[in-house]
Amino acid sequence: MNGDPEIKELLREIRDLHKAHFERYKEFTARITQAEALRAEEENRARRQLEADRREQEAYRREMQQAVRSARVQSTVATVLVVLLLGLAIGVPFLSWIVWHFVSPLHIAP
């Protein structure tokens, strides 16, 4: 193997093929790495969106609970006002009877 041109040419071809293969390998792994980064970014975006949706639903639920409480209070106040107006119109003895039979069973939820 003392400088045989054919062997040198074969070695050059092997080296060039190896370099080309290595370049393709780097491109391939770069595409895989990029795809993995995009997938992770999309997963994080979806996770953030789910969390935002959950917070929004929780806020809506609290708002609806507050509205129900407010409606209960308004209903109770209206009932008391009606009873008081009836008491004024009918008289105090009848008011006692109405309060005893209709208002006292109402329990105001906290």
Query: Which of the two residues, 90 and 58, has the higher pLDDT score?
Result: 58
Q: Which H or E run includes 87?
A: helix 5-90
CB distance 69 to 109 below 8 Å: yes
> Model pTM?
0.50
Listed range (20-24, 25-29, 80-84, 87-91) with the worst mean pLDDT: 87-91
Q: 3: pLDDT confidence band, cut at 50, 70 and 90?
A: low
The two tokens of residue 108 are: 């105001």
Distances (CA, A) of 91 to 34, 49, 82: 84, 62, 13
At 69, which amino acid appears?
A: R
At 64, which amino acid appears?
A: M
